[in-house]
Homo-oligomer: A and B are copies of this chain.
Amino acid sequence: MNSFLDYQNEQNMSLFTDFYELTMCASYFDNQKFEPATFDLLIRRLPETRSYFLFAGLEQVLLYLKNLKFTEEHLAYLKKQGFNQQFLDYLRDFRFTGDVWAVPEGTVAFPCEPLIRVTAPIIEAQLVETFLLNTVNLQTTIATKASRVVQAAKGKAVIEFGLRREHGIDAGMKVARCSYIAGCRGTSNVLAGLAYGIPVFGTMAHSFVMSYEREIEAFRAFVKTFPDKSTLLIDTYDEIAGAEKAVAVAKELEAKGCRLGGVRLDSGDLAELSKKVRKILDENGLQYVKIFASGDLDEFRIEELLNKGAKIDAFGVGTKMGTSADRPYVDVIYKLCETMNKKGTFSPIMKLSEGKATLPGRKQVYRFKDENGNFAKDVIALADEKMEGEPLLVKVMEKGEIVYDLPSLERIRETAAENLARLPEKYKKLTNAPMYPVELSRELEALIRRLKRRLKKTEFIFS
């Protein structure tokens, strides 16, 4: 191994899958089972501390499906794992040829709503399960968490600062992307700045201050390089003394026609300290100097700080947002909802297990709005059912080709902002939010009743 990225490139993503996807596909192949099937990707339930999801990850899903293929190295490896030559020959020419419908990134969504719907020959539809779940899980988990943090900040800037504790390289990139979608103002991740055009922000570390014998020397050294946009970290020794030294440096900058950008507090009682520091800055005519706060922040701490009247202009939020620390995953699943029967028509199917039941058939989600244009309720219906309301799933892929204008990151961010603005306040409370109403259509309900009766008989046959 001479690469620390270990086979992470697009050509290799086809083996980024659970082994059982391949064993199932091999068995489908051996049994010549090529008929199409439909799978729903959905999130089963809301974590206790969430009241909605902010969907993200579709762009990467579509690029994965479009690029999926097996290399000779893959096939050689699979041969060693015991797959037969006919199946390997099939994989050599493998391309994803299915149709995909999905809700746009930045859409507010709720449990049980299909977010991505894949219709493809069952081998193809099965094989892609793991990557789709992995991508949507990470991005939707983070976008949802970040939207709560942005919500709590009530219009104050939130910057994503979690790179050092996010889960590896891909997470570092995607957390920056999803936090930005969710309304963060930018990220500390410079590569995400280059790759996505997200604004990047940064201040200085304690080590910088400590590398100088005197704190004020460190401040002077720093503003020399960035005379018009420096943020000085003032809590290495004593926050109040640090603030006074920042004032001195700001005055020196003013004498040169420049302006200090801000000061940062990273520890201690941020509410009290921010008030004291604001007072010191204001008394010295430095109303324009912003106060930046960081250190173990999340939506709950930010709400508490603002409730205490903290004088903070911007929040740097790291680990707890970047790992969604209180709930680092969502219950995202990928479930078979119809297969083609021997007559060549699609049959809806469902799983009955308690707590794990699935919704049968090919479905669409309709969103209903109130007279002000705010979200009132969603209805999950059969895809061919006539319904009022706005359909959320749009066709994004047809016969393996992307038939959807991939929106820019800015556009996705606007979609998220619009969606969140139209979600009534009560559903955005950080705790004890009521359940947003999601109903099943009459035809879907009727189908479920029919299938339950039939499944009871089927189970009898099975036993």
Contact = CB atoms under 8 A, between A and B. Distances in A.
Interface stretch (A167-175, A372-380, A413-421, A440-448): A167-175
Given A10-B3, A19-B201, A169 B170 contact: yes
A346 interface: no
A386 B238 CA distance: 36
Contact of A165 (B37, B137, B238): B137
Nearest to A35: B211
Contact of A225 (B30, B39, B60, B334): B30
A26 B202 CA distance: 13
A10 B20 contact: no
A42 to B, nearest CB: 13
A288 interface: no
Interface stretch (A126-134, A249-257, A272-280, A361-369): A126-134
A154 to B, nearest CB: 25
A27 B164 contact: no
Contacts of A202: 18-23
B5 A10 contact: yes
Interface in A225-241: 225-226, 229, 235-238, 241
Interface in A407-463: 458-459, 461-463
Nearest to A167: B167
A190 interface: yes
Interface stretch (A48-56, A102-110, A305-313, A322-330): A322-330
Contacts of A213: 458
B7 A214 contact: no
A403 interface: no
A226 B332 contact: no
Interface string A191-216: 10111100011111111101101111
B172 A134 contact: yes
Contacts of A10: 3-5
A64 interface: yes
Interface stretch (A93-101, A349-357, A390-398): A349-357
Q: Which 10 A-B pairs have the closest CB atoms?
A: A19-B202, A20-B202, A168-B170, A167-B167, A133-B164, A4-B60, A4-B63, A207-B336, A167-B171, A15-B191
Interface of A: 1-10, 12-13, 15-24, 26-31, 33, 37, 39, 59-61, 63-64, 67, 73-74, 77-78, 81-82, 84, 122, 126, 129-130, 133-135, 137-138, 161, 163-174, 177, 188-191, 193-196, 200-208, 210-211, 213-216, 221-222, 224-226, 229, 235-238, 241, 245, 267, 319, 323-325, 327-329, 332, 334-336, 339, 349, 351-353, 356, 458-459, 461-463
Given A19-B188, A170-B170, 16 more contacts: A5-B9, A8-B169, A17-B189, A17-B190, A18-B164, A18-B190, A19-B189, A23-B225, A27-B221, A29-B225, A39-B207, A133-B165, A165-B332, A169-B169, A207-B335, A214-B461
